[in-house]
Structure 1
Amino acid sequence: MARRWTPQRFVTLRRIRVIACIAATSIALAGSFAFTARKSVALNINGQTTQVTTYAMTATRLLEEQGVDIKTHDIVTTSSGDQLANHAVVTVQSAYQTTINIDGTSVPFWTVATSADQLLGFFEENQNNATKITVDIDNVYNQLTGGLVINQDGPVTVIADGKTSVAPNGKLPAASILDSKGIVLNKEDRVSVEKDGDTTILRVRRVTHGEETRTAIVPYSTQTIIDSNLPEGQSEIRQQGVNGEKTQVYNVTYVDGVAESETLKSETVTTMAIDQIIAVGAAKSDTDKGSDKGSDKGSDKKSDSADNGKADSGFNNQHESSGNNANNTGDKNNSSSGNNTNTDTNNNAGNTGGNNSGNTGNTGNTGNTGNSGNTGNSGNTGGGTNNNSGSSGSDSGTTTTPSGRLWHATVAQAQAYAAGAAAQRGWTGNDWDCLVKLWNRESRWLWYAENASSGAYGIPQSRPADKMAAFGANYRDDAAVQIDWGLWYIAQTYGSPSKAWQHSEQIGWY
């Protein structure tokens, strides 16, 4: 018996048809999405390429799937931009740390270069000025730096011990090239690679140590005495001062026979200095001036006593304090007044930080032959501590080097460093020009630039500043840390400096 048509049955069948259509559409869409989301990607890790299949939408996700551990300074590029596309190429270059030399300053540098010649080429691509860059190879047998190939494409000129020769096969590490030339390195010898036009030079500098003995002058001191028998204001020399002498022994470091640095090993005073003694007439009081010279001797003595005390505090102590600014710690405005009673002329230790330019007066330390000639305090700068305890002129403006890679860099040093770091990311030509303009606008390439309102800091103007800590703890003082983070930020956010500059032009920030 056939089922009778009813409104309820019609509604039920209609609902079944709608649900079936939705399910079929969902299945079709899912199948289509799965087909289009499935990608074949070429993954290149340090020159080794493998073909992988993935549903990942970004290179970061793909690398996580493949278990590739990416370090802070590694460089990852994707041929299809931010979104991973089918047939894209993802390239991973693992960075290692070597040391470059920027106009005489050694700077640790993270690089992905496969040869020293290539690393020098990075700097040449973006540098149009005269900044001299070399690659320092600290240990020729180290697999990361010493094992670096010198020149992939040609010969290498070797300079050592005053002799020049050519190694025809530059596609070798420094140790192999030096061994082939019979050059044996001592423990402290320095090996570096530099470019001279099209010539790649492997240079060896010999480091030796020796002692030098010198004779130095010990300036005499001056003492002042009060003589009531002299007229007021009159002075005369009672004993002529004579300079002494001391013998100083220095430990000297020579590089290729030229003195590079020295430290004071010992000093001995061979001839004592003789103080100069100056007598000064005592100042007369108003009472003395108005009374007879032959009046009460007791009154005269009292006046003499008062006069002597006044002269001691106003003149003599002023002289004694004239050379005693050495204990001023980090104070820009320390100056000796006439009533400075600091007679401890042996306190030349402790000049730290601050501007100690006022301490050049230490050449006048009285009564203390151990501190004479100590004019080096005028060179104390930055955060270093100048331990000048009792040394006679041996500091001569030397400063300790703070811990950091590119500490308190000049604009030229910062741009030289950034030139190589940007070039190894492929940012040359217009991209480099845009980076220079971008950071000129943001900070004028000053490591200490700070926006008072936003708190943005450093050359790339990181906001907040501690974002840069991922690239180094000294981010507030180290231009290399700031630049490394800034380039990483541009790569992650905009892809290139030219796009970051375009955004800055349109919006006013990047």
Structure 2
Amino acid sequence: MAMARRWTPQRFVTLRRIRVIACIAATSIALAGSFAFTARKSVALNINGQTTQVTTYAMTATRLLEEQGVDIKTHDIVTTSSGDQLANHAVVTVQSAYQTTINIDGTSVPFWTVATSADQLLGFFEENQNNATKITVDIDNVYNQLTGGLVINQDGPVTVIADGKTSVAPNGKLPAASILDSKGIVLNKEDRVSVEKDGDTTILRVRRVTHGEETRTAIVPYSTQTIIDSNLPEGQSEIRQQGVNGEKTQVYNVTYVDGVAESETLKSETVTTMAIDQIIAVGAAKSDTDKGSDKGSDKGSDKKSDSADNGKADSGFNNQHESSGNNANNTGDKNNSSSGNNTNTDTNNNAGNTGGNNSGNTGNTGNTGNTGNSGNTGNSGNTGGGTNNNSGSSGSDSGTTTTPSGRLWHATVAQAQAYAAGAAAQRGWTGNDWDCLVKLWNRESRWLWYAENASSGAYGIPQSRPADKMAAFGANYRDDAAVQIDWGLWYIAQTYGSPSKAWQHSEQIGWY
């Protein structure tokens, strides 16, 4: 007969621990099974219109695309029907972007797009576009791009305008090259092809580019010479030889677009008639010795005072100005003991450079306001330069030509908004989303490409902080509105999903 196990407090604690561990294990197994079942999901992956059904455990679209080996470029657009988290039966859409060229009110701008036709691309701009803005799609290289996959109009006919004639191509689903071939239009290498909208009409336009020479006659202005004639009274002048303009023949190479001159360069010029100088005689000024004994006695007394002041001026007033740096370029002028001379030198040297801190501008003393030297780092010490210094810098800036190297270089507000209208619409952001985007960036930067927050360092139209975040979309992010807008739209898509949600956050928090 077996003895019953004796109950003890220790045995009770042990049994309870066993039960707890068993429950935890059972729960963990159940959760793991449930997680495995729910994490495995079926997703429709659409890449440029081609859909495949895939099975994945990925929690986000980014992870799914990595698993599937889909390489996403900077300007590509990725959308997920279930939002940030990948759900079962979600649809992930990838649209690969390519670069074409649009024309905004006469300014050509490279534009990244996912449009499947030129007509669709123009439609993007129409949805959010300001009526005053004219948008066309330019096809720059006819040999490389016209035969590509970009069709003109998926849904209908195309009006063709070339050589002063207008015709209609019924099948707009063809590339531009095919449509032009069907009309018997042969393109030359430099001819320009563009697509534009006129109401509901899609227009494929060909503009012929030709070159020619133009010969013109230009005037060669005569010069004027002045001679001193001691026989004339002091201050009197007379023309001894009348000046006559010459002539020169100039030959220009001219580029014509549809017969209208667009640009020209000077090829050569030949002087055909020499200009004849105009000669003016002027009476000589009389010397001091000719002005009488009274003048001589005055001069003598002046010499005495000058002699008495020579050493004092060098050791005093003049030397003081040299030590402050104002006479850096007047080496050897210490004998100019006249206080008037020293005062003038000091005034010239200090125009726009109070304190004489002219390091970095050696040789420029006396250049009032340092016109033309705004870029010299030596002027960094010219604090208190006053109005002259500022006006000098302004004059220099206005004369400097900066070569644009971006896509939408130093854009106006109208250009920036026109560009953003199309870029936002191809993400599906129209109507309220577009209105919210306009309000959001009005608040952030007033749509100014150079807007900068001095305290935070946020920069540009979308107010990127720091500014170099935008470098992923282009190296010229500080000057190129297209780069700033492209990055700003991407940021909104990644962070908020839409401009309306970003605006809501800005309204509640004060930033986005």
TM-score by length of 1: 0.78
| Distance verdict in 2 for CA 1:380–1:372, change over 3 Å | closer
| Distance verdict in 2 for CA 1:283–1:383, change over 3 Å | closer
| Distance verdict in 2 for CA 1:301–1:9, change over 3 Å | closer
Q: How far does the alpha carbon of each residue in 1:309-352 deviate from its partner, in whole angstroms, 9 at most, with x for none?
A: 99999999999999999999999999999999999999999999
Shift of 1:217: 0.8
| Distance verdict in 2 for CA 1:35–1:118, change over 3 Å | same
2-structure distance, mates of 1:80, 1:69: 21
Q: How far does the alpha carbon of each residue in 1:351-408 deviate from its partner, in whole angstroms, 9 at most, with x for none?
A: 9999999999999999999999999999999999999999999999997852221111
**Contact 1:353–1:385 (Cα < 8 Å) also in 2:** no
Q: How far does the alpha carbon of each residue in 1:128-168 deviate from its partner, in whole angstroms, 9 at most, with x for none?
A: 32211111112345368843100000001111111111111
Q: How far does the alpha carbon of each residue in 1:146-200 deviate from its partner, in whole angstroms, 9 at most, with x for none?
A: 4310000000111111111111111100011111111111111111111111111
| Distance verdict in 2 for CA 1:470–1:226, change over 3 Å | same
**Contact 1:158–1:166 (Cα < 8 Å) also in 2:** yes
| Distance verdict in 2 for CA 1:270–1:55, change over 3 Å | same
| Distance verdict in 2 for CA 1:449–1:297, change over 3 Å | closer
Shift of 1:273: 1.5
**Contact 2:42–2:56 (Cα < 8 Å) also in 1:** yes
More deviation, 358-367/177-186: 358-367
Q: Percent identity?
A: 100
**Contact 2:196–2:203 (Cα < 8 Å) also in 1:** yes
Shift of 1:463: 1.2
| Distance verdict in 2 for CA 1:434–1:179, change over 3 Å | same
Give the total of aligned pairs.
510
More deviation, 306-315/154-163: 306-315
**Contact 1:116–1:151 (Cα < 8 Å) also in 2:** yes
| Distance verdict in 2 for CA 1:4–1:370, change over 3 Å | closer
2-structure distance, mates of 1:509, 1:279: 75
| Distance verdict in 2 for CA 1:276–1:181, change over 3 Å | same
| Distance verdict in 2 for CA 1:305–1:9, change over 3 Å | closer
| Distance verdict in 2 for CA 1:490–1:63, change over 3 Å | same
Give the 3-state SS of the residue equivalent to 2:396 in structure 1: coil
**Contact 1:374–1:391 (Cα < 8 Å) also in 2:** no
**Contact 2:104–2:415 (Cα < 8 Å) also in 1:** yes
**Contact 1:327–1:347 (Cα < 8 Å) also in 2:** no
| Distance verdict in 2 for CA 1:496–1:324, change over 3 Å | farther
More deviation, 397-406/203-212: 397-406
1-structure distance, mates of 2:423, 2:334: 38
Give the 3-state SS of the residue equivalent to 2:297 in structure 1: coil
Give the 3-state SS of the residue equivalent to 2:150 in structure 1: coil
Shift of 1:504: 1.6
Shift of 1:480: 0.8
**Contact 1:212–1:252 (Cα < 8 Å) also in 2:** yes
Shift of 1:409: 1.2
**Contact 2:154–2:173 (Cα < 8 Å) also in 1:** yes
1:98-137 equivalences in 2 (<5 Å): 98-137=100-139
1-structure distance, mates of 2:88, 2:300: 112
**Contact 2:360–2:378 (Cα < 8 Å) also in 1:** no
| Distance verdict in 2 for CA 1:45–1:267, change over 3 Å | same
**Contact 1:218–1:372 (Cα < 8 Å) also in 2:** no
**Contact 1:379–1:397 (Cα < 8 Å) also in 2:** no
Give the 3-state SS of the residue equivalent to 1:136 in structure 2: strand
Shift of 1:53: 2.1
| Distance verdict in 2 for CA 1:403–1:154, change over 3 Å | same
| Distance verdict in 2 for CA 1:143–1:278, change over 3 Å | closer
1-structure distance, mates of 2:67, 2:172: 39
Runs (5+) with no aligned partner, structure 2: none
Shift of 1:126: 0.5
Runs (5+) with no aligned partner, structure 1: none
Give the 3-state SS of the residue equivalent to 2:403 in structure 1: coil
Shift of 1:76: 0.8
**Contact 1:154–1:169 (Cα < 8 Å) also in 2:** yes
Shift of 1:473: 0.8
| Distance verdict in 2 for CA 1:121–1:474, change over 3 Å | same
2-structure distance, mates of 1:358, 1:105: 39
| Distance verdict in 2 for CA 1:295–1:238, change over 3 Å | farther
**Contact 2:349–2:366 (Cα < 8 Å) also in 1:** no
More deviation, 235-244/69-78: 235-244
Higher helix proportion: 2
What is the match of residue 81 of structure 2?
79
More deviation, 419-428/310-319: 310-319
TM-score by length of 2: 0.78
**Contact 2:318–2:334 (Cα < 8 Å) also in 1:** no
Tell me which of 321, 324, 334 is aligned to 1:322.
324
Q: How far does the alpha carbon of each residue in 1:31-52 deviate from its partner, in whole angstroms, 9 at most, with x for none?
A: 2222222222211111111222
RMSD: 9.8
